[in-house]
Amino acid sequence: MYIIQQTRRRVHEATSMPSPKPDKKQLVITMMLIYENYKGESRKDLRDLLKRANGDVVGALTRKIMMNLSMYKQYYHDKLVNPVPTPMDMPSNVNQGGSRALTGGKPFVV
């Protein structure tokens, strides 16, 4: 719960937007990766080790959420704010070569 609250608070402070809760799957995967990195650390001061690991988890989740928000903002801007203009109607290709009648005399000159 602490990690989720801290992540949402940091994202809100950085973007001044309400942040979504991180997905549980994303949270578990990030925690596993961070804790795997701390596997070789000395466990004499376990409290400090856990604080540093949780801080790294919060930082990683914050970066991921902010990156997702920036991509969503760009998508929203491209699709809704500045939509692609509709192309102009193509002119109908009308061939007028056979519609003109030959005038004056015979059509073939001998």
pTM of the model: 0.66
pLDDT tens string 94-105: 666 655 555 666
pLDDT tens digits along 69-88:
889 888 888 888 777 777 77
**Which residue, among 12, 15, 14, 7, has the nearest Cα to 56 in the 3D structure?**
7
How would residue 51 be classed by pLDDT, with cut points 50, 70 and 90?
very high
Q: Please check the confidence at residue 15 and state whether its pLDDT lies above 60.
A: yes
Exposure letters 75-102 (e unless 16+ CB within 10 A, then b): eeeeeeeeeeeeeeeeeeeeeeeeeeee
